[in-house]
Amino acid sequence: MTPLQDSVRSGQSRWNRALLFGLTARGMGFGLLVGGCALLIGRGFGFRWEVPAAIAGVIGGLVWAIWRFRQLRVNEQQMLTLLDLRAGGSGELLHAFETGGESGGKLNLASTRPRPAWRSSVAPTLVPGVLFFLLGILVPVRAMAQPSTDLFTEQRLNELEELAKALDETLELEEELQEEIEQNIDTLRGSDEAPHPTGEAMREALDALERRLEETAELAASELEEVIRQAGEAAQKGAQPDPKEHKSALDALGDLFQQSQQNGLQPENKLEINLMEQLTEAGLSQETLKALEKLAQAGRMPELGNLAQQMGLSPEEIAKLAEALANNLSEAALKKLAEMAKRGLLDPTSGKPNMQPPDPEKLAEYLKNLEKLMEQQPGGT
């Protein structure tokens, strides 16, 4: 290898090293500037991103430096051209390099050194990025206040949850309906895996849950008022002289009694003590009372009309039996409606579910209107 070739390759290596150092310093400096910005933003939201930001900034700067170095690095031809230009541009160095001969003039080795030197290019690029990143760590930054939960939405969800709890305690909701309501509330509460909906979606979900609870309360109230109405009609039929009406009246009361047992208005598989006392005061025989008890225990109250025929009850006894059963069913339904109203499940003036406890005067008026339904039946309260 001739001195010229050695000088060219040595100069090429020095220039490329200087270029690589300069690009690396510039890339890392810029990367740390970006990392410092990310660090400050993260601290503003309460996150500690020092290590990830530093690693990302350095790696990003190195990747950029390598990419730019591959584009800008000096090859032998470029270095040789530079040396020839600095030697006067006669082309003598080009010819000597290609032929392997000696150069005619003395080669100035200082011309192969990069200008400006790589040391002078590091400080203006790397130091600002490092200082900015360090300041981002040291300067205290107050975390921005996280947006608080919508207090109105939270309050409304709490009220709906209380309403659902009151419905379950008062009406003993079916398991399937109870699970549906609990699942809806859990969805609105949200979790780490599935955050709760926000904005318009949250409002629509709350409205849907409220409508579901209102429908449940309305349906229960309608069913209870229907029990009162049907019991009154059955009692009136039982008091009529036509024997054909007696069996129909007692069968209807038996159906209502069994339905009330399923809805929790009556004890299962037995007759209430109050009902037994009323039937005793009405003059029904002990034989009839025992037969009624066995019918209730067997879950065969819908066959009450057949029992009356088999035992040969008189029209007066059938009327008293129908009256006592109707009073008992109506009182149980009325008591449940009063409990719903007191728990804030019904609006006493409209019969609609209400989130707030009813006014005592309105509640008294509401209960008084319900009692009028019972006055239509013989011996009604």
Q: Are residues 111 and 64 in the same domain?
A: yes
Q: Are residues 122 and 8 in the same domain?
A: yes
Distance CA 146, CA 87 (A): 68
381 in any annotated domain:
no
Q: Are residues 119 and 82 in the same domain?
A: yes
Q: Are residues 210 and 255 in the same domain?
A: no
- Of 219, 250, 270, the last residue of a domain is 219
Q: Are residues 8 and 119 in the same domain?
A: yes
Distance CA 207, CA 198 (A): 13
- Of 165, 199, 219, the last residue of a domain is 219
Q: What is the pTM of this model?
A: 0.52
pLDDT recorded at residue 361: 56
Full domain range(s) for residue 84: 3-138
Q: Please tell me the total count of domains within the chain.
A: 3
234 in any annotated domain:
yes
In which band, very low, low, confident or very high, does the pLDDT at 360 lie, cut at 50, 70 and 90?
low
Residue with tokens 């150069």: 103
- Of 189, 219, 249, the last residue of a domain is 219
Neighbour tally for 86: CB within 10 Å: 14
Q: Are residues 357 and 310 in the same domain?
A: yes
pLDDT at residue 337 above 50?
yes
Q: Are residues 80 and 133 in the same domain?
A: yes
Burial of residue 273 (CB within 10 Å: 0-12, 13-18, 19+) is exposed
Q: Which residues contact 75 (CB under 8 A, 6 or more apart)?
A: 12
pLDDT at residue 106 above 80?
no
Q: Which residues contact 14 (CB under 8 A, 6 or more apart)?
A: 112, 113, 114
Q: Are residues 169 and 247 in the same domain?
A: no
> Inter-axis angle of helices 199-239 and 151-171, to 10 degrees?
20
Distance CA 102, CA 141 (A): 67
More confident of the two residues 289 and 66:
66
Q: What is the dihedral of CA 87, 89, 92, 96, to 10 degrees?
A: 80
144 in any annotated domain:
no
Q: Are residues 107 and 171 in the same domain?
A: no
pLDDT recorded at residue 107: 55
Tell me the per-residue pLDDT of 166-208, one tens digit each, with 9 for 90 and over: 888 888 777 888 888 888 888 877 765 666 667 777 888 888 8
pLDDT at residue 12 above 70?
yes
pLDDT recorded at residue 63: 92
Q: Are residues 18 and 133 in the same domain?
A: yes
Distance CA 376, CA 228 (A): 10
Amino acid in position 237: K
pLDDT recorded at residue 100: 59
**Rounded to 5 degrees, what are φ and ψ at 336?**
-70, -40
CB 131 within 8 A of CB 27: no
Average pLDDT in the 82-106 region? 61
Distance CA 344, CA 362 (A): 12
Q: Which residues contact 218 (CB under 8 A, 6 or more apart)?
A: 351, 352, 353
Cα separations in angstroms, 61 against 37, 58, 293:
15, 5, 90
143 in any annotated domain:
no
Q: Are residues 253 and 355 in the same domain?
A: yes
380 in any annotated domain:
no
And the tokens for 220?
């229960």
CB 157 within 8 A of CB 165: no
19 in any annotated domain:
yes
Q: Are residues 66 and 197 in the same domain?
A: no
Q: Which residues contact 303 (CB under 8 A, 6 or more apart)?
A: 251, 254, 295
